Amino acid sequence: MERTQENHQHSTPAHEHWLNRKRLLVAYLIFTAYAAALAIYTGQADQTWAIWAVVGYAVPTLLIALTRNRLPVIVPVLVSLAGSLAAPVAWLVTRVSPTPEVQVISRSAVLLLQHGTPYLPQGQLDAWLSYNPYLPVMALFGMPRALGATGLLGDPRLWLCIVSLALIGAAFWIAAPHRHCDSCRRGVLLSTVFVAASPVIAFPLAVGITDPPVIALMFLTLALIARPSGVFRAAAALAVACAMKATAWPAVPVVTAMLAVRDGARAAWRFAGVAIVVTGILAVCLAPAALVDPYAFIQNTVLFPLGLTRQKTPAASPLPGHLLAMTGMTGHMIAVALLVTAGIAFGVSLIVRPPADVRAAAWRIAFGLTAMFTLSPATRWGYFVYPIGLVGWLLLTRPPVLAAPVLAGPERGRPAAVEIPPHAKRLSVTVR
């Protein structure tokens, strides 16, 4: 009996978090190099963030390298969050003029309160900054200032940070295989803070770029859709993202195709229906006056992002689609045609070879967005935070690796095979 109990004790599996010390060290070395390059070659708010982030990433790098196993890994990760997000946001909000993105969000909230639409009419679109390429839900981040809040409380970046971090944490919590064990809670905290402190999330949040909450809602959608009981909640989460920014739209057909394979056509159509209807309801409720002037809505959210308006978007990174558009109107139309063709090919691929599970769906979304950003006539490097973020999600939610237990008794020292329970094949959670 004692030997049986001893064997049982030694056979308890332990989950290994993907973010061990070696990987964290490599990650922070890369983050530090990226921030240093950005500090040298950019200006204004981007450079301010980069200067803070160099210190914010270099200090955790040294802590991990010098302390070895004497310091819990969550300590340097929290330091990186303070240096790459909390400090630069506070500095930029209080000492630097609002970035164009912050100005657009703040103005859209005022317009929404006063006129029932976050978009200026055609006659007032006299500069690129007068356009609002975001969808109605994004204006909510500017509501505190529109309602009279000042300083940090009135800045959209604070609310972008709060909402993004809450959604990222919720996504990792839902994806955790065992939510109530200590190791799972540590793993969720580590993953959440690491992602929030990474340049993929911290940099855009600090300068007011609106992608992080959309990325976080994609994470939440993937976490919810992995559970059969979370399909409708996943549709609602994705609908909120789709009502914020059009960059979330490719996820709808991908997840629908995946559900058709996993759960059947009826479940797939229900998901797509809920996502589309909720997106429409949110848009109508938050911008009812936009129905009266649909052309202004199209100009702001469709034509301006595609570079088809008189005032051009400043999103102009030298990617293939933009380089084609720079050659003239013919080249611009070719770039648009290539983008449409890529979209059709993407849709056909979902019919011919749909993703079979959630991880395959995440990969397909990442590939589709990469193609879209590459071929878009008005694009910027920053859009690639979407596919990079999705790849990071896939790494951090890999099926857990269980440490092989050592048998006691005559077979002492020999590792025993450990079978991973089906419900545990989501987030690896124990921190070394």
**DSSP string computed for 28-84:** HHHHHHHHHHHHHH--HHHHHHHHHHHHHHHHHHHHHHHHGGGS-THHHHHHHHIII
Q: Are residues 49 and 157 in the same domain?
A: no
* Final residue of a structural domain among 63, 97, 131: 97
- What is the per-residue pLDDT for 4? 43
Total domains, the chain: 2
- Assess if residue 2 is contained within a domain: no
How many C-beta neighbours within 10 Å does residue 182 have?
A: 10
Same domain, 218 and 297: yes
Give the pLDDT of residue 189: 92
Residue 104 pLDDT > 80, yes or no? yes
Least confident of 4-13, 105-114, 240-249: 4-13
Tell me the per-residue pLDDT of 258-304, one tens digit each, with 9 for 90 and over: 999 999 999 999 999 999 999 999 999 988 888 888 888 899 998 88
pLDDT at 429 over 60: no
Within 8 A by CB and 6+ apart from 431, the residues are 17, 19, 72, 73, 74, 183, 186, 187, 190
Same domain? 250 vs 264: yes
> Cα dist. 14→3, 26, 247, 382, 430 in Å?
21, 24, 38, 38, 7
CA dist 38 and 53 (Å) reads 10
Instruction: Looking at mean pLDDT, say which of 94-103, 302-311, 326-335, 354-363 comes out highest.
Output: 354-363
Q: State the CB neighbour count (10 A cutoff) for residue 122.
A: 12
What integer pLDDT is reported at residue 234 of this predicted model?
A: 96
Whether residues 105 and 173 fall in one domain: yes
Contact 101, 209 (CB under 8 A): yes
Asked whether residue 13 carries a pLDDT value surpassing 70, the answer given is no
pLDDT at residue 402 above 60? no
**Cα(310)–Cα(367) distance, integer angstroms:** 31
Q: Decide if pLDDT at 14 tops 50.
A: no
**Encoded tokens for 291:** 């129905």
Q: 42 and 122 in one domain?
A: no
Q: Name the DSSP letter for residue 406.
A: B
Decide if pLDDT at 424 tops 70: no
On whether residue 370 sits in a domain, the answer given is yes
Domain for residue 127, yes or no? yes
Q: Once rounded to an integer, what is the mean pLDDT over residues 316-340?
A: 87
Residue 7 lies in a domain: no
Which one of 58, 75, 97 terminates a domain? 97
CA distance 196 to 85: 8
404 has pLDDT over 60 = no
**pLDDT digit string (tens) for 24-76?**
999 999 999 999 999 998 878 899 999 999 999 999 999 999 987 788 899 99
| Residue-number span of the structural domain to which 88 is assigned | 16-97
- Is there a single domain that holds both residue 176 and residue 63? no
* 131 or 179, which is more confident: 131
Contact 275, 225 (CB under 8 A): no
Over residues 352-359, the mean pLDDT reads: 94
Q: What is the 3-state secondary structure (H, E, C) of 126-165?
A: CCHHHCCCCCHHHHHHHHHHHCCCCHHHHCHHHHHHHHHH
Spatial distance between the Cα atoms of 237 and 222, rounded to a whole number of angstroms: 10
Same domain, 228 and 144: yes
Structure tokens at 135: 């969808």
Flag whether pLDDT at 245 surpasses 60. yes
How far is 409 from 10, CA to CA, in rounded Å?
Answer: 11
Residues 257 and 381 in one domain: yes
pLDDT of residue 425: 46
Do 79 and 196 fall within a single domain? no
Residue 56 located in a structural domain: yes
Q: Are residues 86 and 106 in the same domain?
A: no
User: Domain for residue 319, yes or no?
Assistant: yes
Q: Please give the model's pTM, rounded to 2 decimal places.
A: 0.87
**Is the separation of the CB atoms in 126 and 311 below 8 Å?**
yes
- Residue 357 — pLDDT band, cuts 50, 70, 90? very high
Are residues 295 and 332 located together in one domain of the fold? yes
Q: Which residue has the higher pLDDT, 43 or 139?
A: 139
Share of the chain above pLDDT 70, in %: 88
Which pLDDT score is estimated for 79? 96
Going by pLDDT thresholds of 50, 70 and 90, the confidence category of residue 187 is confident
Backbone angles phi, psi at 95, to 5 degrees: -125, -10
Same domain for 80 and 109, yes or no, is no
Where is the domain boundary, 72, 97, 122?
97
423 within some domain: no
Mean predicted confidence (pLDDT) in 239-252: 95
Kindly state the DSSP code that residue 426 receives in the 8-state scheme. S
Least confident of 102-111, 150-159, 208-217, 407-416: 407-416
Length of the chain: 432
Domain assignment present for residue 211? The answer is yes
Query: Are 157 and 102 within 8 A, CB to CB?
Result: yes
